[in-house]
Amino acid sequence: MREPTDEERECSSSPAMRVFDNVARRWGLSERMKLQLLGCVEHEFRDWARDARWHRPLVLGVAILLRVSAVLGVFGDLRQLTNGAAEERCWFARQLAAPSFEGKAPISLLATHLKAKWMFAGI
């Protein structure tokens, strides 16, 4: 699979960041959790969000776009399985006893998995 070009990343970066910010707001995610999910520092996130909101040119790295994509994938699945934002927030934040969740909340597993996966891959 080839890596997207700068032009391709520019076309998707601003819309991806706007949708990520809207989903994070819908779920009531803290600033800290947003940063953990994206694997960035505060000033980067704020700059990206501002540029996306004002439709300024924005080219996110591949790792950031993959992280946003993972969050949006979970969001899409939750939209099909739940009855609105309140249920999404409840499911995402509560500790689940199922073996695959190891008694942890899905949001913490997602943040941990994204960090470990891309650190291991060198992205």
For residue range 17-66, list pLDDT tens digits in order: 999 999 999 999 999 999 999 999 999 999 999 999 999 999 999 999 99
Q: Specify the pTM.
A: 0.85
**What local confidence, expressed as pLDDT, does residue 114 receive?**
66
Residue 46's alpha-carbon distances to 41, 55, 81, 112, 120, in angstroms, are 9, 14, 31, 22, 26
pLDDT in tens, 71-117: 999 999 999 999 999 999 998 888 988 888 888 888 888 887 766 44
- pLDDT surpasses 70 at 9: yes
**What local confidence, expressed as pLDDT, does residue 122 receive?**
45
Q: Which two tokens stand for residue 51?
A: 């540029």
Residues 33 and 20: their CA atoms lie apart, in Å, by 12
Residues 36 and 20: their CA atoms lie apart, in Å, by 13
Q: Which two tokens stand for residue 18?
A: 């706007």
Residue 73's alpha-carbon distances to 20, 48, 57, 66, in angstroms, are 11, 20, 24, 10
